[in-house]
Amino acid sequence: MADGAALTAVELHRVEIPLVTPFRTSFGTQSVRTALVLRVRTERGDGWGECVAELEPLYSSEFLDAAELVIADHLLPRLFAAGRGLTADALAGVLASVKGHRMAKAALEMAVLDAELRAEGVSFGARLGAVRTAVDCGVSVGIPESVEALVELVGRYLAQGYRRVKLKIEPGWDLEPVRAVRERFGGIALQVDANAAYTLADAEHLRALDAFELVLIEQPLPEDDLRGHAELAARLRTPLCLDESITSARVAAEAISVGACSIVNVKAGRVGGYLEAVRVHDVCRAAGVAVWCGGMLETGLGRAANVALAALPGFTLPGDTSASERYWVQDLTDPFVLHDGRLAVPTGPGLGVEPDPDRLRAWTTVRRSVPAP
């Protein structure tokens, strides 16, 4: 097998970018996004990737320092050893002996895929199977200090054109904020995300959310509790959606078959890459389960890939694919701008966007380059 372009070096840039508003979820608050940007250098040109692991292992077990270490010490040696056998399609197989670390693997796959597509002159959207030129966008709203502040914030996002609003909830911040937003804004598309903050003992309490005609409730229970989600789903009228639990297309198929969810949030980092994300989409579509594209506060790099993914036919609900200005004063790439509640799918080769070299340099706190041996 010699149809790939061998890697000659990989650069790891740890980047810190301040968020325009702090983002609070049930597991913590972020005011600055620390991202790991990868640049792969290959015989046929460069490619960019972004690792969505968070600074601390609070969303999932992965975290940035671990991702950096596993990439440098365990994943790159395997990619270098693959030589010209390394294609984006082959990458997951090359790394399969390393267990877990899906966000780290996904970032490498994204960069290798980007290099490949740039060399071929093909866009991410075309490669993944996009059928739309623009995607409907929602916005994910963190937990602010008060219900009044929340209503104010939601009003601002709706005025900007977002087509759906997602509220973060946790015990003690659920019925009241949801009621306030529903009463103030009428029949908007509204959904909630609990980031696994509840247990099955809260089933009756969560059932009170049925009164608000939500699009869905996202990940109310722990990541490994498919059975609990199935029991809860049977007791609620509101559709259950899984995020953290869905770590592969196989798990998606299992979750659907046991009745643990009827909608799936697709995040490429969480499932090990954009190619597996497409397989999650395929499994769900075949089962008649709607999917939407999740978000991990990506820079324009990850956003470009997410928007391309969200243009696949099964992505029938608006995603957490918000415009650059929802997150940053300035994005790492040219900004993604909302038009009529939609973002345009990039059409250029690969991701169709690149980091601005000056901003990348200015915002990088640690940079290291790992050359091929």
Which of residues 91 and 293 has its CB atom nearest to Mg ion in the complex?
A: 293
Residue (193 or 276) nearer to Mg ion, CB: 193
Cα–chain center distance at 347:
20
Asked if 109 touches Mg ion (CB under 5 A), the answer is: no
Integer angstrom CA distances of residue 144 from 5, 29, 33, 58, 329: 47, 10, 18, 19, 20
Q: Is 99 known to be catalytic?
A: no
- DSSP, collapsed to helix, strand or coil, labels residue 136 as strand
Q: Name 172's Cβ contacts closer than 8 Å, sequence gap at least 6.
A: none
Decide whether 95 or 304 has the Cβ nearer to ligand SMG: 304
Cβ 137 to ligand SMG shortest distance, Å? 10
Q: Cβ 274 to ligand SMG, closest distance in Å?
A: 16
CB of 318 to Mg ion, least distance (A): 14
Residue closer to ligand SMG (CB basis): 40 or 296: 296
3-11, 236-244, 351-359, 364-372 -> range binding Mg ion (CB under 5 A): 236-244
- The beta strand positions in 217-348, using DSSP E, are 217-218, 240-242, 263-266, 290-293, 342-344
Residues 208 and 214 sit within 8 Å (Cβ to Cβ): no
168 catalytic per annotation: yes
Q: Is 300 helix (H, G, I), strand (E, B) or coil?
A: helix
Q: Which does 299 bind (CB under 5 to 8 A by kind): Mg ion, ligand SMG, none?
A: none
**CA 84, CA 5: separation in Å to the nearest integer?**
5
Which range touches Mg ion (CB under 5 A), out of 36-44, 84-92, 125-133, 238-246?
238-246
SS3 of 49, please? strand
Rounded to 10 degrees, what is the CA torsion of 305, 310, 312, 315? 160
320 binds, among ligand SMG, Mg ion, none (CB under 5 to 8 A by kind): ligand SMG
SS3 98: coil
The residue annotated as part of the active site, out of 99, 105, 166, 267, is: 267
* Minimum CB distance to ligand SMG, residue 155 (Å): 18
- Residue 48 binds which one of Mg ion, ligand SMG, none, with CB within 5 to 8 A depending on kind? none
Residues near ligand SMG, by CB under 6 A = 23, 25, 30, 59, 140, 193, 195, 243, 294-297, 320, 322
Nearest to 110 by CA among 350, 372, 282, 346: 350
Name which of 19 and 200 has its Cβ closer to ligand SMG.
19
- What residues are labeled active site? 168, 267
Contact residues for Mg ion, defined by CB under 5 A: 193, 218, 243
